[in-house]
Structure 1
Amino acid sequence: MARSIKSGKILLAEDNMISQKFMGTLLSQWGYEVTLVGNGRAVLEEVKQNAFDILILDYQMPEMDGLATYKSLRAEGNRNIDNMQIVFLTGETSVPVLNELKISGVNYFLRKPIQKEVLFSTLTELMNMGGVQSPKTVSTSTVYLKNITNSNPQLMKEIIDIFIEEAPKFLFKMKTYCLLEDWKSLKSLVHKTKANYTYVGSMKQKELLTELEFDLEFMTSTETFMARIIRLEEITQNVIDSLEKKKRNL
């Protein structure tokens, strides 16, 4: 794998000294400026003083665990977190834990013990968010939607609303299946979700899902699955913004 990535500042919160050493060395080798801390309270102090591009936060830490740290960061309203991506590292794979993360607003998580290729591809995607690889405007078309609804504006609005409500939920489920390495369920959900993007005329995103489904079929490029879902998630938000505008003109 090529190691040409955008440089950035990462705060790594990990209390296990071996994991801290391993990950800190990797991140430095990949070109990141890394700050290491061992508990949640140290995270709060660092973020008060400095801005970081990414915070990698261990779920289980002494003094203040990862989730409590995350909630405190949000509650404090520190502007340093406005553009900071937060990635949880967790060995917990129970449904209650994952639901708690979702309810709390956690968007990104990776499984421990960490796989370096998964870490690399995920961080690269997060660093690229908002850049040239993820355009802020996307092309959507209501031609297909008009055709299947006989240009019924009310039905078109209802279908758009269903997409807007369901797409983020499906994408969170995809990330969850990645965490659990439940590739069968991921493949099934990817196949199911493709049709929704077709209905709202988001063909580029359907192509991304088709490529992911192919790789799931043959289990190739598995280390990129999480990063590709993150990319799809960001673009989907842009699709939703576009659909909201189109809906007002129906």
Structure 2
Amino acid sequence: MLQEINYRSLGKRRILVAEDTSVNQFLVRRIIEGWGLEVDVANNGQEALTMVQSGEYDLVLMDIQMPVMDGIEATRHIRQLPQSGKATVPIVALTANFLKGDREKYRAAGMNDFLPKPFNESALFVVVSNNLQQQGVPIKPKQPLRVERPVDGELYDLSSLRGMSGGDEKFVNKLVQMYITLSGESLLLMKEELKNGQYDAVGKLAHKMKAPAGTMKIAGVKDIINRIVAVPLEDASVQLPDLVQQLDKEMQYCLGRLRVEFPD
């Protein structure tokens, strides 16, 4: 029989989270600090490299796609540091777009492990625990205090988020408000980039929106985002205008419902 995970079993550890999306930063920090660990956040790979050089960390959670310097390049630089303790720090890739062959690419860059986004608390704990050389931990997620019924036929589902929050509605409300702000800003930027024919930038913005939509379990939004991310650059001028229009319509409806349920 699987045993409940002891989330306070890792002792005093210091974790660096390299992630450029505010919603993901807020969520991961909250989860890890709940285990009794210390957390620092880097907004891009360059910041992560600088912080590893100047600080002492037991593990780095490294997003792959970030501005200034991506996670793979940052990992390569860390592995070349002259201090052996810093150069060998465990690095776990966080990615919302895991493709065939990516595991080998991450390993070749010097990463120890990977975790697809979005993830739940138990999956994050197991990968962190394993890479801190702790004994293997059987996965048994904590049960949410109450189950959230999807609104409007699967529009969104916050039950997993509430489970990770331990029933802290203030935390859930703050994360939802951050999601509303981030999504609104990203959507405006996406439409502007599309208007200017910057199709690669449209894809990058969609990728940035992917994990938060997964965390919120917004199935309709996530499906359109996945389709935008998958559009080949040579087909972008034909396919993206309709997809971005679909995303705009679905996102505005979803954000409207969230604003009603979670008034600022």
TM-score by length of 1: 0.49
Structure ranking higher on relative contact order (CA contacts 8 Å, 6+ apart)? 1
Higher percent of residues as helix = 1
Query: Given the two structures, how large is their TM-score scaled by the length of structure 2?
Result: 0.46
